[in-house]
Amino acid sequence: MEIDPARYDNRVEGGLYDDVVRQLMALPKGMSLGDATYKDDFTRETNVNTGNFAYKCKDNGVEYETVLVGEILPRPCGTKFNAIGNHYLGTVNTPNVIDDKTRVKGIFALGQPTQATEMMYVTFGNQIATLDDIIQSDMEELKRQNKDMNVKEWTAHAGTDQSGTPEYIIVNTDQLYAVPKGTQQAVQGKRARVAKKTINDTIEHGEGKVAKNNAVAGGSKDNTQETEITTNTFYDLTILPDYGGDLFQHVNAKLRQLDIRDVENQLIPPQNWYTSLKRGMLVMIRATLHAFNWKERRVYQLNGHTIRVLDASKLEVEPLSSQPNGFDIGGSSSTSNSRVSDAMASVQLGKRGRQE
C-alpha cells in the first residue's frame, strides 16, 4: 500500500499519536471504544418489533455513543466515499436506481495508523477487541440456541483468511441525500406557519434616510445565518463531481451537510470532502453501534455521526469510481448535541502534525 514516509515518521514519545491517545484515556470511562467493556459500560437491547439490536449505556439507558480513531484506508480495503456510496447498483437487466427514498451512505475503512507508537498500536487493537467481544458473546448465544446465522461483522480482514484477528474497522456515514423538511411539507400539501418578525428601531439621519438599530434582537442575526454552514444545510446534488447520469433519479432530495470537520473542528463543505477525507488521514469518529437481524442473516454496523480530521495526508486523491458498492441497512441518525460530541470537539491538536 502506498504511504507517505515523511508524514508518518513520528515514533517519538510525546508525538501526535500519543497526544491523541492520552486525551482518549482522559475521557469518561467507557466513552472511548478501546477503553469500553461490553456489558459493563454498555449493553444490548432488542427491538421487540424488528428484532434488531441497539446498544445502550448501562448507567442511564440512553443510546451508547463511542469515540474511535484510525487511519482512512484506500478503496480496495473497503472505503466507498463518493456519490454512489454503499448503494448496490443491481444488474444490467434490473438496475437499482437511486431516488428520493434510497438510503445512501458513505463507508470508511479504518486501519492501524501507519508507524503507530506503542500507545496508538494498543489503542487501535483494543477498539477491535471491544467490537469482537460483542461478536463473540453473540456467537456463544447462537450456539446455545442451536442457531446458525450468516454474520457480517463491523470489522474486516486484509486478506482472504478470515480466521485471524481483523485488521480494519468499517464505519458508515449518515445518509448523503435527504428531502429537506420544508420540501416534504410542500409535497404533502402542508406549509410552514407564518412567523412574526421583530420591528427594528429606526433612527432618522438627515434628508430622511433611515438606518436600522442592530442592537435590537435579530437585527443582523438573520443575515449572518444565511451564509453559516450547519448540519441542517442542504446543497445542489451536482456539487459532488461524480454525481450524474441515469442512475440518479432524485426529484426533491438534496445533498446533506454531514458532520465532517477539519483539524480546527470546522465543518467541511461537500465540495471539499474528497480532498479532505482521503487515504492516509488520521481521523476521530463519534459513532453508535447497531445490529440488524433477519431469519438467517445478521449485519453489525457502526454508524459514524461526526468525523473529525486529526491529521492530513499528502497522498493523492484516488480517481473517482462508480463500481457497485454492496448494500446497507440503515440505523437512526444521531444528532451532534451530545456528551461524546463535546468530548471530540475538546481534543487539542496544537499546531504539530505527524512529523514531516
Q: How far is CA 232 from the centre of its chain?
A: 15
Q: Is the pLDDT of residue 10 over 90?
A: no
The answer to the question of residue 86 being in a domain is yes
Whether 351 is in a domain gets the answer: no
Mean pLDDT within 194-212:
57
The DSSP line for 237-291 is GGGSTT--STTB--SS-EEE---EE-TTSPBPPGGGHHHHS-TT-EEEEEEEEEE
Q: How far apart (Å, rounded) are the C-alpha atoms in residues 72 and 106?
A: 13
User: What's the rounded mean pLDDT across residues 72-76?
Assistant: 94
pLDDT of residue 318: 85
pLDDT of 78 reads 94
Neighbouring residues of 66: CB distance < 8 A, sequence distance ≥ 6:
30, 31, 32, 33, 36, 286, 287, 288, 289, 340
Q: Could you tell me the residue range of the domain that residue 18 belongs to?
A: 5-178+234-345
Which range is least confidently modeled, 77-81, 149-153, 167-171, 201-205? 201-205
In tens, the pLDDT along 297-319 reads 999 999 999 999 999 888 888 87
Structural domain includes residue 91: yes
Mean pLDDT of the chain: 83
CA 222 to chain centre: 29
d(CA 99, CA 115): 42
Would residue 253 count as lying in a domain?
yes
> In percent, how much of the chain has pLDDT > 90?
64
Mean pLDDT of 128-142: 96
Give a yes or no: residue 199 inside a domain. no
User: What pLDDT score does 202 carry?
Assistant: 53
Q: Is residue 226 part of a domain?
A: no
Domain tally for the chain?
A: 1
CA separation (Å) from 128 to 16, 125, 135?
21, 5, 11
Range among 32-41, 110-119, 181-190, 341-350 with highest mean pLDDT value: 32-41
174 vs 356 pLDDT, higher one: 174
Residue carrying the nine cell digits 449493553: 43
108 CB-side CA count, 13 A: 31
Per-residue pLDDT band at 213 (split at 50, 70, 90)? very low
Residue 207 resides in a domain: no
Task: State mean pLDDT over 148-159.
Answer: 92
> What are the pLDDT digits (tens) for 281-300?
999 999 999 999 998 999 99
pLDDT > 70 fraction of the chain, expressed in percent and rounded: 76
pTM: 0.78
Is residue 224, in this structure, part of any structural domain at all?
no
